[in-house]
Structure 1
Amino acid sequence: MRRERIRSTPQWRKHGPRRDCAFVVENQAEHGFRGMSVVRIRLFFSFTHDGIDYPCALVDWFKKVGRSPDIQTGMWIVEPEMQGRYRFTTIVHLDTLLRGAHLIPVYGSAFIPVGLRYIHSLDAFKAFHVNKYADHHANEIAF
């Protein structure tokens, strides 16, 4: 793979916002997902300081549930990281983003509301599986 698009736009095909998720490398010494986290991209921006351009992203963080992948699915589970009632949001340099990530909701036993739209799914569920079966590269990363 040479390129991948990670999008964050307030209007996607006239249906609402599209906020892609991505893997963020936090510890290069750890192998696989143990040294990473998942974030949702809210905004891409850059600024210049002392003549140096800094490409950045405003991101919402997801934290790992447990210290290993789920026994039943073999996938890691993450949940939104909160500070009180609000999502934990920070700015990261684009060099820390590895590639896009695909999250699958942990559905539970309750019915999904009929009016739930896909653009609200990252806010509607409490936990998500990090899909290592999305493609070959995700399988290598999120083992």
Structure 2
Amino acid sequence: MTRYPGGPAESPGFLLWHVTHTWQRAVTAALAPLDLTHVQFVLLACTWWLTNEGHTPNQQDLARQAGTDIKMTSQVLKTLENKGLLTREISPTDARAKTLAPTPAGIELAQRAITAVEAVDETFFAPVSTPALVKTLTKLTATG
């Protein structure tokens, strides 16, 4: 039994599932030439953004900003560090924490990747892009 007489085509969750995966495929394709996965992009871009805003983020700050699991964040950050895109150093105020900073190569790649992903967003969301959509998505994000 379902509350949607028209089946999955009327289910907001099922539709969101499909929209999300369609959008993710487009982002993945845009990031492939840059040798970044989607999650690598998100973490690199968030590190760049936080640093650019004058913060010295640690891994926990970054995971909170990106909405990612802290352990997974740590693993992906090791990959980004191995690629020479960011540094992870012991925090001067907390020996258990590692502070993050993008390298010059990381900054350049983050900016190129942000441009590529924003182009995907512009094309993908063009038919429905409005301030109301952003407000709705923000509201839905806050409920999680």
Q: TM-score higher than 0.5 here? A: no
Structure whose residues are more often strand by fraction: 1
TM-score of the aligned structures, taking structure 1 as reference length: 0.23
